[in-house]
A and B are shown apart, each in its own frame.
Chain A
């Protein structure tokens, strides 16, 4: 096995919830030594969120948490105590990279602001991430991705035009920001290698997230067109939607995006007259009669399983895919072939799956280790990584700083 990419890179992960932990996870899965700093007194909201092993809540029982925190060590610190803040400072000085995602200002209050840390470690790279960024009139506005998804425009764009918006599931923007943050962090590491200079990175999850809607802002300015939710419709394709199939809540997505594709699609629907209706022959006609056409398509799909519709259409290169639920994706032949889900045996949760990174690297593949239990590596971090003595460790333990 060749050496992992980030072996020797030291990361202090003071972040919580999803964005910061996912950034640190990318580094950890590729070999960095990542110390996740947490507290039992203020548990990570994701540790405190279900699903839990056997439906019993517990600090080390959430599979929501484990998936975002593979390949890390856990150090628990009660930051209300000065001894804990001292350990946190030592850890920051030990590290190459500090990541944090407290509400703007909190980390400064602990004496761990970039200005404080930079005097102790001039070439430190530090990334703060929050909903709206560290500066500006609304910087201190509290919230999670669960709310930011609406501020960032995605909620308005999801659902049916005749209904109130259907907010995209969970903290959607939380999965937009990490790619930007991790890219910039690796860039900052490379810049430091060339110049010896550290960096401060302010990742506003709103500002990153808007790149996932970029051309809509141009369309609005230039053409005065303001995007709205439109169910599953597309201006360039019809049929374009999720069609009900046989069974309970089973659906197949279908997209017919060219005349050639329509001809092939049509050839699969045998023994019905409507497919040859001249109104449906060209895209404009299908768009003009889309409600009616969708009903006719669905009359065909409902007789088959979603898998049958998908296999039949993909066999002739028409775009189709089962609307897979969580059970389906765990059994998906392609994801299985790619080994996207990796099962690790967690000490409290037992064997369960983690997402493998969606990019497979031929020479330096990611290697995923279990997410830590809270404070699991306190002694290792304090003594081995920070080089403190047995005595100091015991003092910290007794003081309650490691809670």
Chain B
């Protein structure tokens, strides 16, 4: 191993059989330096054909899903038909070279192919086998159909989001399976840590619904302890104090900002600093200036109090632009942030100063694309950036021929028969 390229997980290999419900797990391990081999059916994953396409006139429809690019970046890619006898045999050989497998098939599918955990551990007893599914491997919903919106609903988070006079909403970008895949990365690494210490492998059975259920914050406890049902309040929220509804997201002159009146030492500082600033603008009246934020108690502040304060703060925000408010908040240590758009984030000064955005070459497209960068900054071993997502079967030669030692005639034959 070359020390200059050695990262956290350099010695480890995982086979990634996931679809778009599990890509992020392997992507996290890949950023930490593990070798991730994405295995697709010959011709490529179905998920290559969807989700934000790269220019609609692109000549190769399998090489233009931006979702696929984003979550498979840094992985190697091979093709393999798992339903054929030779394909199964090859997969078993590959599985004996890997520390783990990450998959997102329906419960029981790999077992039905004869490629389940029990079979694979015959040749590789220490194998880690991570499954990402909507509901886990067992239980009454295990075979249910659950795309993102159904996941956000059944996990409980959706009920908390949206305007009170309309239906609950999901976030307008699929989140449920990203949560599951993030949890899967943690579970897989805990299992790897155990394997390193003991040589023992295991199953890691991840449920998307349970991953979404982690997002309930204080609302589950509110029901359990208080029999209070927290519900969606649009740009406002409840749950910080006893019953009062508070604004969190506010219109300003050219957009929206987020600021929440909070209690405690931290809240006192930020509230006081905002009142001070409003005073300099001639917008802090006697009512506002007379509030002693040091003794302000969320538990006793009623709706009327919040309404009075918010009417004043709201007028102040409307007078200023998002940039003025953000810059002023920064200088005055006020807990206020802008409601950013995707475009805003690409030019965010903090992200630029930290070199977050990462250009990655796509030679086939004749361009370089900017990706979200390392999810953590670390020293002495930074995250690995890696290359663009693999083309369909890009590493077949490297894996099957160089590593497993298949001859050229064998490769040609496997290709002809649609196995790779």
Contact = CB atoms under 8 A, between A and B. Distances in A.
A397 interface: no
A353 B218 CA distance: 12
Contacts of A67: 220-221
Contacts of A54: 225
B4 interface: no
A242 B156 contact: no
A324 B225 contact: no
Contacts of B191: 5, 361, 364
| Chain B residues touching A, majority SS | mixed
Contacts of B153: 242, 251-253, 321-324
Contacts of B13: none
Contacts of B351: 206-207
A225 B54 CA distance: 11
B317 interface: no
A72 interface: no
Interface stretch (B83-91, B174-182, B283-291, B305-313): B174-182
A263 interface: no
A51 B350 contact: no
Interface stretch (B143-151, B274-282, B393-401): B143-151
A385 to B, nearest CB: 22
A280 interface: no
Interface in B53-104: 54-55, 66-67, 69-71
Contact of A338 (B136, B226, B330, B350): B136
Given A199-B379, A326-B222, A148 B204 contact: no
Interface stretch (A83-91, A93-101, A160-168, A281-289): A160-168
Most chain A beta-carbon neighbours within 10 Å: one of B67, B149, B251: B149
B55 to A, nearest CB: 7
A72 B103 CA distance: 32
Contact of A206 (B152, B169, B220, B350): B350
Contacts of B50: 236
B378 A188 contact: yes
A305 interface: no
B363 interface: no
A389 interface: no
B192 A167 contact: no
User: What bracket does the count of chain A residues touching chain B fall in?
Assistant: 35 or more
Given A186-B193, A220-B342, A359-B204, A330 B372 contact: no
Contacts of B376: 180-181, 184, 201-204, 207-208
Contacts of A119: none
Contact of B354 (A135, A163, A326, A352): A135
A230 B344 CA distance: 19
A314 B381 CA distance: 47
B72 to A, nearest CB: 11
Contacts of A26: 186, 190
Most chain B beta-carbon neighbours within 10 Å: one of A55, A57, A155, A234: A155
Interface string A46-84: 001111111101000011100100000000000000000
Contacts of B248: 146, 167
A340 B193 CA distance: 24
Given A189-B193, A204-B354, A361-B190, A320 B70 contact: no
B330 A226 contact: no
Contact of B346 (A220, A243, A314, A318): A220
Interface string B375-409: 11111110100000000000000000000000000
A144 B263 CA distance: 13
Contacts of B45: none
A337 B138 contact: yes
A207 B339 contact: no
A191 B186 contact: no
Contact of A172 (B182, B215, B234, B370): B215
A210 B372 contact: yes
A146 B175 CA distance: 18
A76 B220 CA distance: 28
B205 A180 contact: no
Given A51-B225, A211-B24, A363-B194, A133 B354 contact: yes
Interface in B148-172: 148-163, 166-172
A324 to B, nearest CB: 5
A143 B139 contact: no
B4 to A, nearest CB: 13
A165 B339 contact: yes
A283 to B, nearest CB: 12
User: What 6 A-B pairs are tightest by C-beta distance, nearest first?
Assistant: A359-B187, A187-B8, A179-B182, A63-B221, A169-B160, A358-B210
13 contacts: A136-B353, A148-B337, A165-B235, A165-B339, A211-B178, A217-B371, A227-B173, A333-B141, A357-B186, A358-B208, A360-B206, A361-B204, A364-B190
Given A64-B217, A210-B345, A360-B136, 11 more contacts: A146-B260, A150-B338, A168-B161, A207-B377, A211-B372, A216-B173, A240-B149, A242-B168, A332-B154, A337-B139, A358-B183
